[in-house]
Structure 1
Amino acid sequence: MNQPKPTVTSRDVAQLAGVSQSTVSRVFVPGSSVSEKTKKKVFDAANALNYRPNAFARSLTTNESKMIGLVFPDADYPIHMKTLQLISSELQHLGYAAVLIPWSVDNQDNYTIPNIFQYRVDGVIAASATFNKSLYEECEKFNIPIVQFARVVEGTKSSYAISDNYAAGQQAAQFFYSRGAKSAIYLTGEVPTFTNGERQLGFIEEFADLTSNKPTVIEASYDYDDSLDAIRALFEQGDVPDAIFCATDNLALAVMDIARFEYHMSIPEQLQIVGFDDIPQANWVSYQLTTFRQNFKRLARESVKIITEQIQSGAGNTTKLMVPVQFIERKSTKPSP
């Protein structure tokens, strides 16, 4: 019978590297003060002995897991997976690991999260406004910092890093006006959110000021397939506007498909369309959608900066950050006159 191999400890690594055991421990703590020469000696010895530090045991000693929980909506929407990668990369640079925390929908259509405390995370980054407030209340109860990414759940005390949605709505209205639009619709999804509400408000107020015509708000679904019936109903009414500003690119692509293939409308000559998010499909040849691009790289960097600073300081300060968006003009809107 094969005998189990003896466990390699930090003491064995220290002996081979010719350093103290405490030096070995410091080498495997991100950000600790150890010379590059010493680090190399320790890493070489660890590799030779096939030593792996016990992160869980270290977390029990330091009371830090160096793990950040990420609570995100499903990854079907094209930008969500990229965003997860950006946040994970930013965390890794600072010595933290990302843990994706699952969520589900209960019988009352509430988005529920497992008990956060069982994950032993040092902090949480949440990227959906559809969760109920229990997530934030639990984090507050256990003194776990939480940062909202590109979303805001009203009534919570947590920090957030979001895009400047009100300014984006204003810019869309100004652009449509400069392209001759006299009537407009804001097409939104079925779930009310603070960020979408700000974008809608900015668009409606600015367009009404410029044209004296208040845009109509039409509610569909954020899902492409589920939105089609509501969009068809809009066209069947026969009172199609000059321009439609869509809460997401998914909605904008659905509008373009229905308008062109079922109602044989010419875009942008008969109908101008602007989306929001700049998903990869927006730049496809068949769409060439004018849209807004959120600066997810900066949002990821700022969210990670906020959460790690709160973890390290232990302070409960609330940070509220808005990041400008970039307008991407393509062929779903009229060119400059």
Structure 2
Amino acid sequence: MILGSSESEERQRERRFVSAEDVARLAGVSRSAVSRTFTPGASVAPLTRDKVMRAAEHLGYQVNDLARAVLNNHSRLVGIVATNPELGFRAHLAAALAKALIQRGSIPILINTGQTEEELLAAQKTLIGHRAEATIILSGSTPKNFVDLAHRNGQSIVAIGRSEPGADQVRVGNTAAAAKAAEMFVRRGHRLLGIAGSHSGTPSITERETGFVQAGKALGATVVVAKGQNTDYAGGLEAARQLLCGDDRLEAVFCVNDQIAFGLMDFARSELGLSIPNDLAVIGFDDVPEASWLSYRLTTFRQDPVLMARQAVDLIDRRFANPDAAPFTESVVPELVTRLSAT
């Protein structure tokens, strides 16, 4: 059935959102009285407020935050920019950030972007165009003018797990944790070590790779490096083939995240018949929920997504209160969780 123009317009009117004018009409007050009622700190008579609130509840009215953002040139939107946010620890961190931002009264917007300069700039322009209050970066190497463009538009930047000049940061002790993994292996008599990394080249992954290699060599161990294409399960399978199918019989492997560790462990046991930890000790990084599964029982370094989300939100508040201050930094010390894979 094809609707006539008048009937179609009527249907559109039926679907529209309840407006402040609707509330004012039902409450018998002015439009400005409705606006003042929903503006924190604004002056409004108790009787008027009561009329407006009862009318709003009856109609199901909600404040138009987008309209307020246009008027104030500022919104409660906070962008979360991530590559593959559905994978591994990043998924848990994105979920924790969304929850923390909602509790703060913000509206989180997740932008699933690539790692190229063009993709990251496009994400940023989208957030600035919607007058987002802040951007939280979880991955990718930001372009040089990323932070400057944000600052010129009054938008704060929080980088998690990376050092970003000019941005507020939640730093993770990647290098120290990787060095601790090497020390643990050597202390338990392992001298031929491997590291399963990836070609992603993200700051966190690079810090873990470099920290392990340097510490292992300084302790007199031989360190063999292998990298999968991505920092995921498939990348772990690739790295395992490189590390475990050669002439060298590795004794222990540090994996730059748990997803890689899962792929490496499955390959070692299913394809090569190795026993973990008897034939090969394995340490991961992140402590995602699957790390405790009976199939893996992975020794790994724990990052707390709830703590990191809380720190990121705190940085947004501190920047709002001190817009001209030097960059703020919060630090996270990953905790070693010992399980069966490296006892």
Deviations 1:234-276 (A, max 9, x none): 2221202211101111211121112111111111111100011
Deviations 1:126-162 (A, max 9, x none): 1003454454343244332111122335xx3212102
Correspondence for 1:82: 92
Task: Verify the 8 A CA contact 1:150 1:299 in the aligned structure 2.
Answer: no
- Which residue identity does 1:26 align to in structure 2? T
What pairs up with 1:152-301 in 2 under 5 angstroms?
152-153=163-164, 156-209=165-218, 211-221=219-229, 222-301=231-310
Quote the Cα distance in structure 1 between the aligned partners of 2:272 and 2:118: 37
- Which residue identity does 1:121 align to in structure 2? A
Task: Verify the 8 A CA contact 1:68 1:98 in the aligned structure 2.
Answer: yes
Deviations 1:71-98 (A, max 9, x none): 1111331332322221122112222111
- Which residue identity does 2:149 align to in structure 1? E
Quote the Cα distance in structure 1 between the aligned partners of 2:99 and 2:86: 20
Correspondence for 2:70: 60
Task: Verify the 8 A CA contact 2:183 2:216 in the aligned structure 1.
Answer: yes
Task: Verify the 8 A CA contact 1:104 1:113 in the aligned structure 2.
Answer: no
Deviations 1:206-250 (A, max 9, x none): 3334x4225232222323224434421322212022111011112
Structure 2 vs 1, CA of residues 202 and 25 (structure 1 numbering), >3 Å: closer, same or farther?
same
Any gaps of 5 or more consecutive residues in structure 1? none
Moved more, 60-69 or 227-236: 227-236
Q: Confirm whether residue 26 of structure 1 aligns to residue 36 of structure 2.
A: no
Q: Confirm whether residue 121 of structure 1 aligns to residue 132 of structure 2.
A: yes
Cα deviation for residue 34 of structure 1 reads 9.4
Q: Point out the structure with the larger helix share.
A: 2
- Which residue identity does 1:150 align to in structure 2? G
Provide the secondary structure at the position in 1 that maps to 2:100: helix
Deviations 1:171-213 (A, max 9, x none): 212222332222212221102232223323332333334x422
Quote the Cα distance in structure 2 between the aligned partners of 1:310 and 1:97: 18
Structure 2 vs 1, CA of residues 202 and 104 (structure 1 numbering), >3 Å: closer, same or farther?
closer
Correspondence for 2:83: 73
Task: Verify the 8 A CA contact 1:14 1:21 in the aligned structure 2.
Answer: no
TM-score by length of 1: 0.83
TM-score by length of 2: 0.82
Task: Verify the 8 A CA contact 2:194 2:253 in the aligned structure 1.
Answer: yes
Provide the secondary structure at the position in 2 that maps to 1:197: helix
Percent of aligned positions that are identical: 26
Q: Confirm whether residue 96 of structure 1 aligns to residue 106 of structure 2.
A: yes
- Matched residue pairs, number? 323
Deviations 1:277-301 (A, max 9, x none): 1122222211111111102111111
